[in-house]
Structure formats: C-alpha cells, structure tokens
C-alpha cells in the first residue's frame, strides 16, 4: 500500500485554481477597451490633444490599423504599448480594439513602451530622459545596457540624462517645445539659477543653439582683471552689471568716476550688433 498522498488541486499549484487560456505568442485578440488598464511604466507624460482628436477621426474612418500590446492580468489586461491608440479609440466610441498579448516582466514593459515611443519620436526629450533614469534607478541597468535596448549610442543616453539636471523652468520650456534639447545641453553649462536668469533671453530673442552656447561661454569666462579704478563698484552696481550681461546676452562693464561713470557693451560680429541694436532701440540698424 502506497503512503504517498494523491496529488490534488493544491498540489498542482495556482494554475489549477485559475482557468488558463492558451494564447499563441503572436495571437491578436479583439479585446474590450473597458478591460484594458493603463501601463504604470508608460514613459509618456503628455499627450497632444489635437493630435489625439485627429487620430480618433482616422480610427472612426479606417479603424485601428495596428494592434496595441498588452499583458494579461487576473481581471483583464494591462497596456504595454499603444496608449494613444487606446485613448483615441475611446474618443471614437469603439468598444473593442485589436491587441497583441504578451507576458512581460515590469522592466520589459517599460523597455518595450520606451522603445516604441522612441522609434515613433513620440516622447519629448524630458520624458525620454525620465524613462532612461527609471531603467537605471529602478531596474539596475547601466547606460550601456540602456543604449543596447533602445538602439542609441551611450553618449546620446548620457546627454539626454543631463537634461534632468536643468532648472525646472528650463525643463518645462523644453516640454512645451519652445526650447530644443540642444538648447538645454548648452544651458547645462550654467548653474541652475543662472539657467533660469538667461532663459528669457534665449527664448525671447530666439537664439539659436550656437548663439546660446556662445552666450553661456561668455557668461562663464572669468572677468578680466580691470585696471585700478578710481572707485570700486559697490554691490548694487555689481548686481546691475550682472543683470545687464544676462539680459543683453553679452559682456557689459560698468565703471564709476567722480562725475558719473560709463557702460561698455561689447559685441563680436555685425549680426550681434544688429541684435543688440534691435533689443535696445526696437528697430533694425
């Protein structure tokens, strides 16, 4: 007589208690939109409402042409990639959407969502940087490993991550599309408070990346030792001099004499002279 107990339901593990449905790896199912939950690892923070409405109109006309990617959960599905298609389908009044079902770990979900958005150029530079940071901090990837997964050079990953060190106002301006990633990298050469001070000049005067780099270079270079002046600038005049440099985007020197003083504004090209003239006078030289 055998003393070995018979293997009951509990002996077969959790799979015996939960109905299992065999889904081929490449199967596309028609899934209820109401059963799809958002991806907690979605790297996209902002969605263009106008673009979303345009996509919804296209879906009404032609349907969803590319399946979204989901993973199956106990009570439905969790979205991995295709958030814009899901949102637009709901706006279009659809009840179901074609979905490719994959079982992926948390890190893999973030990687797939990130790669899809990067390939579609759907992320702004700050969203992309935050996704890279999450892969590094939460999932222990190195910059080299992130580079391999998203198909970008490690130097590109490093430069994008540097954007997270920018002043919050500069980051917000990049998100709004008023400043490029190149502008952000140029402004990173200044301390955060300095970035905030010159931000208005860069945006307001429409400086190019190269002009912004030149502005930062001038602001960072040490002030030359001036010849002994009759009287040293007091703190208030030094503050005025600093504000003039930042506002005009070029080197400005103040000196005081017995009867008054002088302001010296330097320029380095005809183009810059025209820019300064327009800024000070309000017209073209």
pLDDT digits (tens, 9 = 90+) for 257-279: 777 788 888 887 777 888 888 88
23-105: which CATH topology?
A: 3.90.1530
Strands (E), 91-176: 96-101
**Dist CA 249 CA 266 (whole Å):** 10
Question: Cα–Cα distances in Å, from 146 out to 82, 110, 135, 151?
Answer: 21, 11, 7, 8
**In the annotation, is 83 catalytic?**
yes
Of the candidates 39, 83, 37, the residue with the CA atom closest to the CA atom of residue 64: 83
The backbone torsions φ and ψ at residue 228, rounded to the nearest 5 degrees and listed phi first, read -50, 125
pLDDT digits (tens, 9 = 90+) for 190-226: 999 899 889 989 998 899 999 999 999 888 877 666 5
Q: Does 229 or 184 have the greater pLDDT score?
A: 184
Q: From 3.30.565.10, 3.10.310.10, 1.20.1050.10, 1.10.10.2830, which CATH number describes the 108-219 domain?
A: 1.10.10.2830
> Which sequence spans correspond to the domains of the chain?
23-105, 108-219, 224-281
Active-site hit among 6, 54, 61, 83: 83
8: number of Cβ within 10 Å: 8
């Amino acid at each position: 007589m055998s003393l070995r107990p018979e293997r009951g339901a509990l002996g077969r593990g959790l799979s015996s208690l939960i109905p299992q449905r065999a889904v081929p790896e490449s199967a596309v199912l028609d899934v209820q939109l109401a059963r799809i939950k958002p991806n907690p690892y979605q790297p996209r923070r902002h969605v263009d409402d106008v673009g979303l409405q345009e996509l919804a109109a296209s879906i009404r006309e032609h349907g969803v042409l590319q399946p979204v990617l989901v993973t199956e959960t106990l009570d439905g599905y969790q979205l991995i990639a295709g958030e814009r298609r899901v949102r637009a389908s709901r706006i279009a009044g659809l009840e179901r959407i074609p979905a490719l079902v994959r079982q992926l770990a948390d890190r893999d979900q973030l990687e797939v969502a990130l790669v899809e958005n990067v390939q579609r150029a759907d992320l702004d530079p700050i969203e992309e940087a935050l996704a890279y940071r999450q892969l590094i901090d939460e999932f222990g990837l190195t910059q080299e490993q992130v580079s391999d997964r998203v198909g970008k050079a490690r130097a590109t990953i490093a430069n994008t991550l540097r954007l997270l060190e920018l002043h919050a106002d500069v980051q917000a301006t990049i998100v709004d599309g008023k400043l490029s990633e190149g502008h952000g990298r140029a402004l990173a050469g200044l301390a955060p408070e300095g970035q905030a001070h010159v931000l208005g000049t860069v945006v307001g005067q429409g400086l190019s990346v190269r002009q912004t780099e030149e502005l930062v270079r001038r602001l960072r270079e040490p002030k030359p030792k001036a010849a002994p002046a009759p009287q040293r600038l007091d703190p208030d005049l030094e503050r005025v001099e600093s504000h003039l440099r930042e506002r005009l985007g070029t080197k400005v020197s103040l000196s005081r004499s017995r009867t008054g003083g002088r302001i010296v504004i330097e320029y380095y090209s005809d183009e810059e002279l025209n820019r300064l003239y327009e800024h000070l006078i309000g017209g073209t030289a």
